[in-house]
């Protein structure tokens, strides 16, 4: 009997590449690797990854797609190609999970939430001709994730993605992690993560967790076990991850993190003033106070690790002056590289609900307009500034943060403060790559101008 083919697609928007513009900032489609691992072995599986190759039609019996919100229109476009030929399409991932009613109009079935509990049923129903429109996955207490089928990933990824925890209790106003992965922080078994880590061929690893150490005593203990396990097994990887500012609280843990290969940590700083942190519902940053940021970064540097600070621009209380003030604060705060985003209401967030209730979304021709919700383009009516003003002042702020002089000066400081050549190299490349992404933002502005001409 002929084996059935499952085609999994990782869509990308070629006109708005964002983080996909650089090979180094592309992330492996981990969820597709997990879906592949959950699929019965009598299926043939292929991944089409638009991060690396332009789409080419490939025959399949069943097509699975995943997408962030800004990529959803491309996912629907690809689904339409297959549906026109009578081939069944299934979509999962954060966007489909947040707006399943919309996705159901463009694909045959939607997986809402985490795939592990329901994917075997999706396959069984497809095979028996009883596929449902919606598969709603309950939040599992434990993560029972199979090892992703990494053999199906494009070999061009510089960084291997590994997830060790899911969920976040913080529920910041602009973030959909708590809605997607739950507020309950869950861990994968440490030995399982270590086994996976040993198997990845890449030297560099991105622990894609939203918060690698979490907030509780239990979660910090789990992080300690993970770092100690990497050292004990002699795993020689260099890794990066994301955390909240309490990453700096435990210096013993920082020491272990560096010894286990941590070279760079992303911290969501968001803003430097109380008004904006309140808008963000960023309780931890509020409780510490912005004047602590430098001390936090210095403590992390002391242990050889560099910091990417994430800042958000366009809060309701922002003015042109506060935006430029944030840019000045960023380059003086002691962080080693920066992510700069415009406040963007993504479905599933408190912010999105608020903007809908206040009728402040600038673009509502969904799904096409979702591609604008990519953190680069203003998507909400601001109470104090016109859209053109926001675009202009945001560009000015980024020109300041990403000026070559600032980057070079910061790279030197990173080396002096971390005394780690490997951390400095990673941070320096990251800073330049982010500059490139930022310049792409300028290109997009140009293309938007042409669209409007």
Q: How far is the CB of 402 from ligand SF4 (least distance, A)?
A: 22
Q: How far is the CB of 374 from ligand SF4 (least distance, A)?
A: 17
What is the Cα Rg of the chain in Å? 22
Site for ligand SF4 contains 308 (CB under 6 A): no
Could you tell me which stretch among 135-143, 167-175, 311-319, 353-361 binds ligand SF4 (CB under 6 A)? 167-175
Site for ligand SF4 contains 244 (CB under 6 A): yes
**DSSP code per residue over 42-95:** TEEEEEEETTTS-------SEEEEE--GGGHHHHHHHHHHHHHTT-EEEEESHH
Nearer to ligand SF4, 98 or 177 (CB): 177
d(CA 29, CA 51): 9
The CA-atom distances, in angstroms, between 3 and each of 35, 43, 62, 152 are: 17, 6, 12, 17
Nearer to ligand SF4, 38 or 240 (CB): 240
Site of tokens 């309490």: 246
Q: Name the helix (H) or strand (E) containing 296.
A: helix 293-302
- Residue 176: left if φ>0, alpha if ψ -120 to 50, beta else—which one? alpha
Q: How far is the CB of 53 from ligand SF4 (least distance, A)?
A: 31
Could you tell me which stretch among 5-13, 112-120, 173-181, 221-229 binds ligand SF4 (CB under 6 A)? 173-181
Q: Among 171, 202, 387, 395, indicate the residue that binds ligand SF4 (CB under 6 A).
A: 171
Nearer to ligand SF4, 210 or 318 (CB): 210
Pairing of β 165-166 and β 186-187: antiparallel
Q: How far is the CB of 178 from ligand SF4 (least distance, A)?
A: 5
Nearer to ligand SF4, 12 or 168 (CB): 168
State the binding string over 120-159 for ligand SF4 (x if CB under 6 A, else -). Answer: ----------------------------------------
Q: How far is the CB of 271 from ligand SF4 (least distance, A)?
A: 12
Q: Among 268, 304, 345, 348, indicate the residue that binds ligand SF4 (CB under 6 A).
A: 268
Q: Among 90, 98, 175, 179, indicate the residue that binds ligand SF4 (CB under 6 A).
A: 175
Q: Which of residues 42-101 bind ligand SF4 (CB under 6 A)?
A: none
Nearer to ligand SF4, 27 or 171 (CB): 171
State the binding string over 192-211 for ligand SF4 (x if CB under 6 A, else -). Answer: ------------------xx
74, with CB counted inside 10 A (0-12, 13-18, 19+), is buried
Largest CA distance in the chain: 68
Q: Among 36, 98, 168, 300, indicate the residue that binds ligand SF4 (CB under 6 A).
A: 168
Exposure b/e, 185-205, CB count within 10 A at least 16 = b: bbbbebebbbebbeebebebb
Site for ligand SF4 contains 177 (CB under 6 A): yes
Nearer to ligand SF4, 65 or 330 (CB): 330
Q: How far is the CB of 410 from ligand SF4 (least distance, A)?
A: 24
Q: Among 22, 164, 178, 371, indicate the residue that binds ligand SF4 (CB under 6 A).
A: 178
Could you tell me which stretch among 124-132, 164-172, 344-352, 437-445 binds ligand SF4 (CB under 6 A)? 164-172
Phi first, then psi: what are they for 40, rounded to 5°?
Answer: -55, 150
Q: Name the helix (H) or strand (E) containing 306.
A: strand 306-313
Site for ligand SF4 contains 170 (CB under 6 A): yes
# residues contacting ligand SF4 (CB under 6 A):
11
Tokens of 406: 């600032």
Q: How far is the CB of 60 from ligand SF4 (least distance, A)?
A: 34
Site for ligand SF4 contains 344 (CB under 6 A): no
Q: How far is the CB of 212 from ligand SF4 (least distance, A)?
A: 11
CA dihedral 328, 332, 334, 339 (to 10 degrees): 20
Site of tokens 């001709």: 129
Q: Which of 24, 50, 290, 66 is nearest to 160 (CA)?
A: 24
Nearer to ligand SF4, 118 or 168 (CB): 168
Q: Which of 23, 6, 167 is nearest to 82 (CA)?
A: 6
In sequence order, what are the beta bridge partners of 160?
A: 205
170: CB partners within 8 A, 6+ apart:
178, 211, 215, 244, 281, 282, 283, 284
CB 260 within 8 A of CB 227: yes
d(CA 404, CA 331): 12
Site for ligand SF4 contains 179 (CB under 6 A): no
Nearer to ligand SF4, 253 or 415 (CB): 253
Nearer to ligand SF4, 196 or 210 (CB): 210
Site for ligand SF4 contains 314 (CB under 6 A): no
Site for ligand SF4 contains 172 (CB under 6 A): yes
Beta strands in 129-248 (DSSP E): 134-136, 159-162, 165-166, 186-187, 204-207, 238-243
Residues that bind ligand SF4 (CB under 6 A): 168, 170-172, 175, 177-178, 210-211, 244, 268
């Amino acid at each position: 009997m002929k084996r059935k083919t499952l085609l999994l697609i990782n869509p990308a928007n070629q006109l708005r590449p964002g983080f996909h513009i650089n090979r180094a900032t592309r992330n492996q489609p981990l969820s597709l690797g997990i879906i592949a691992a959950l699929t019965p072995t009598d299926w043939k599986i292929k991944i089409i990854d638009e991060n690396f190759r332009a789409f080419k039609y490939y025959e399949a019996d069943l097509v699975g797609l995943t997408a962030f919100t800004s990529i959803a229109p491309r996912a629907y476009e690809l689904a339409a190609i297959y549906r026109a030929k009578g081939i069944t399409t299934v979509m999962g991932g954060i966007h489909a999970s947040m707006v399943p009613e919309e996705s159901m109009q463009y694909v045959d079935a939607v997986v809402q939430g985490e795939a592990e509990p329901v994917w075997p049923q999706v396959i069984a129903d497809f095979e028996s001709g009883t596929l449902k429109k919606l598969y709603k996955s309950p939040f599992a207490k434990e993560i029972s994730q199979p090892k992703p089928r990494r053999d199906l990933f494009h070999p061009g990824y510089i960084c291997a993605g590994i997830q060790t925890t899911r969920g976040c209790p913080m529920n910041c106003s602009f973030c959909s992690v708590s809605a997607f992965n739950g507020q309950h922080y869950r861990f994968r078994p440490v030995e399982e993560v270590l086994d996976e880590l040993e198997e990845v061929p890449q030297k560099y690893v991105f622990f894609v967790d939203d918060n690698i150490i979490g907030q509780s005593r239990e979660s910090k203990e789990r992080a300690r076990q993970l770092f100690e396990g990497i050292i004990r097994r002699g795993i020689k990887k260099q890794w990066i991850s994301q955390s909240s500012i309490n990453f700096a609280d435990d210096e013993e843990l920082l020491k272990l993190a560096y010894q286990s290969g941590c070279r760079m940590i992303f911290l969501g700083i968001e803003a430097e003033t109380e008004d904006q942190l309140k808008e963000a519902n960023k309780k931890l940053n509020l409780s510490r106070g912005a004047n602590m940021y430098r001390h936090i970064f210095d403590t992390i540097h002391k242990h050889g690790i560099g910091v990417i600070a994430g800042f958000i621009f366009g809060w309701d209380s922002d003015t042109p002056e506060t935006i430029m003030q944030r840019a000045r604060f960023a380059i003086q705060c002691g962080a080693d590289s920066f992510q700069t985003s415009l406040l963007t209401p993504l479905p599933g967030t408190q912010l999105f609900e608020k903007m809908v209730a206040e009728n402040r979304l600038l673009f509502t021709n969904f799904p096409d307009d979702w591609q604008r919700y990519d953190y680069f383009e203003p998507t909400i009516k601001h109470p104090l500034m016109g859209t053109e003003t926001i675009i202009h002042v945001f560009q000015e702020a980024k020109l300041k943060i990403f000026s070559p002089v600032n980057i070079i000066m910061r790279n030197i400081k990173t080396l002096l403060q971390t005394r780690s050549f490997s951390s400095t190299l990673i941070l320096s490349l990251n800073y330049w790559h982010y500059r490139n992404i930022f310049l792409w933002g300028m290109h997009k502005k140009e293309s938007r101008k042409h669209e409007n001409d």
